[in-house]
Amino acid sequence: MSAAVQHTLAGSATLEGTSLHTGGKVTLTLKPAPEGHGYKFRRIDLPDQPFISADVEKVQTVERATTLAEGSVKVHTVEHVLSALVGLGVDNALIEMDANEPPIGDGSSRPFVELIKSVGIVPQTATRKTWEIREPIHQEMGDGTIITIVPCKTFRVSVTNVGPDGRFTQYFSTDVTPETYEKEIAPARTFVYYEDVKPLLDKGLIKGGSLESAVVIRGNEVMSKEPMRFTNEFARHKALDLIGDLALSGKRILGHVIAVKPGHGPNTKMAAALKTEYARMRSMVPAAVSIPKGEGVLDINDVLKILPHRYPFLMVDRIVDFEGENKCTGVKNVTINEPYFIGHFPGHPIMPGVLQLEAMAQVSSVLMLRKPENVGKLGYFMSADSVKWRRPVLPGDTLFIEADIIKIRGSIGQTRCRCLVNGEVVSEAELKFALLDR
């Protein structure tokens, strides 16, 4: 399976079983979905058959299972089927159900893995977007729960399960691939502590629960219809849940997820943090730039004919727009290869504010020196007023420099300038020049 493109199911597959909370019969059908669809649930038992996206913003409750809601429509216990889809490398799928939760099966995700494998997985055309974590993302709860994601070239999970009073402390760690997921994670069953579920049983809840659908722990005794599948089965199931809950971020990641005492609440909080951090990171990526073509646009060769500056002090790559004779916009692509990054805040590279000011001066010079009466002259910087720096400019940013002539009297010119990144003003100033013969 190529990790470069998105994948979906080769056909539809249906699984019937019992729901955990109501004990009623439920039929779940996995269906192929188009590129970019992601995971969506559909309640076909309700009027209009509403959809609910597998999105952390739809999370309603996280007590013992993850519940999604769209208005009054809910789907419960979504983590196992989502975990199987992620683990086997399915990017796009529609999950149809005729009840409010999937079949509980044996409490693991193995029934969903077998369902997916029964129809197969096929590649799609669109590129799979995988986010490589570059900086640690950390969540810490007051009860000792810790989830941290650190940089890693693979998707890896390391989980420490700690039960009440330290009982059944277990550890599990693995790279998550379709092969390891199927063999090492999917068979791990959900487990519960008797003291936690007895009140629910007394109230007539979790009607679909049994020793065939979960491992029950009473004191130090493990109650199960079959022997433990792994010596650290509880930690493995925590990893299973973690993978499913993190899918609600909507992002496939490369990173090492380290979790101590994870649960659905902390897991979904980390999914929300991933979604927020991804949006913040994407906001720093320059938007696609449409460069207008025509007589008024100057490439680097034209700029070099007007300005006397050369490497490493040329701060304009090209002029992309003129508005009449009194306004123009230049572009400076900021890269980590700029010589000033060697000594300016090493380890935290930001473009010096004075060089943003110099970029404004150079664009202003291009604007004024294109006037017929100034051709062949030089613009000498005289003063800068109302200078403001509003946010750092980083390697990878595209700096748009706008210059607007306020007035020219004789050999003195004055401009109002600002620098923008992704439409946001990062610096601004009013500049004055002396226009003199070379």
Q: Of these residues, 21, 37, 344, 348, which one is catalytic?
A: 344
Three-state secondary structure call for residue 429 = strand
pLDDT in tens, 16-58: 998 876 678 999 999 999 999 999 999 999 999 999 999 999 9
Phi-psi category of residue 233: left, alpha or beta, with phi > 0 → left and psi -120 to 50 → alpha: alpha
77/265 Cα distance (integer angstroms): 13
Three-state secondary structure call for residue 408 = strand
For tokens 């226009």, the residue is 435
Strand locations in 207-365, DSSP E? 215-218, 221-223, 252-260, 318-323, 327-333
Amino acid at site 347 = G
Contact criterion met (CB below 8 Å) for 33 and 40: yes
308/437 Cα distance (integer angstroms): 13
169/160 Cα distance (integer angstroms): 7
372/380 Cα distance (integer angstroms): 18
> Which residue ranges does the chain devote to CATH 3.30.230.20?
5-283
Contact criterion met (CB below 8 Å) for 314 and 301: no
Evaluate the omega torsion of the peptide bond into residue 349 and state whether it is cis, within 30 degrees of 0: no
Fold of 5-283: Ribosomal Protein S5; domain 2 (3.30.230)
The structure tokens listed for 416 are 């109002």
Buried b (16+ CB within 10 A) or exposed e, 330-358: bbbebeeebeebeeeeeeebbbbbebbbb
Q: Of these residues, 76, 80, 237, 264, which one is catalytic?
A: 264
pLDDT in tens, 58-112: 999 887 789 999 999 999 999 999 999 999 999 999 999 999 999 999 999 999 9
pLDDT in tens, 368-392: 888 888 888 888 889 999 999 999 9
275/333 Cα distance (integer angstroms): 28
Is the pLDDT reported for residue 407 higher than 70?
A: yes
Rounded percentage of the chain residues whose pLDDT exceeds 90: 67
Residue with more model confidence, 223 or 395: 395
Among candidate residues 176, 183, 146, 171, the one with its CA nearest the CA of residue 244? 176
The structure tokens listed for 130 are 């995988």
> Which residue ranges does the chain devote to CATH 3.10.129.10?
300-437
pTM for the whole structure: 0.70
Residue-level pLDDT at 402: 96
435/408 Cα distance (integer angstroms): 10
CATH class, domain 300-437, is alpha beta
Alpha carbon 112 to its chain centroid, in Å, reads 26
Maximum C-alpha span of the chain: 95
Q: Does the active-site annotation cover 237?
A: no
6/34 Cα distance (integer angstroms): 10
Q: Does the active-site annotation cover 344?
A: yes
Among candidate residues 71, 41, 37, the one with its CA nearest the CA of residue 53? 41
205/402 Cα distance (integer angstroms): 65
The structure tokens listed for 352 are 């010096």
26/95 Cα distance (integer angstroms): 13
Contact criterion met (CB below 8 Å) for 209 and 20: yes
Query: What does the pLDDT average to over 109-118?
Result: 97
pLDDT in tens, 285-314: 655 544 444 445 888 998 998 888 999 999
269/266 Cα distance (integer angstroms): 5
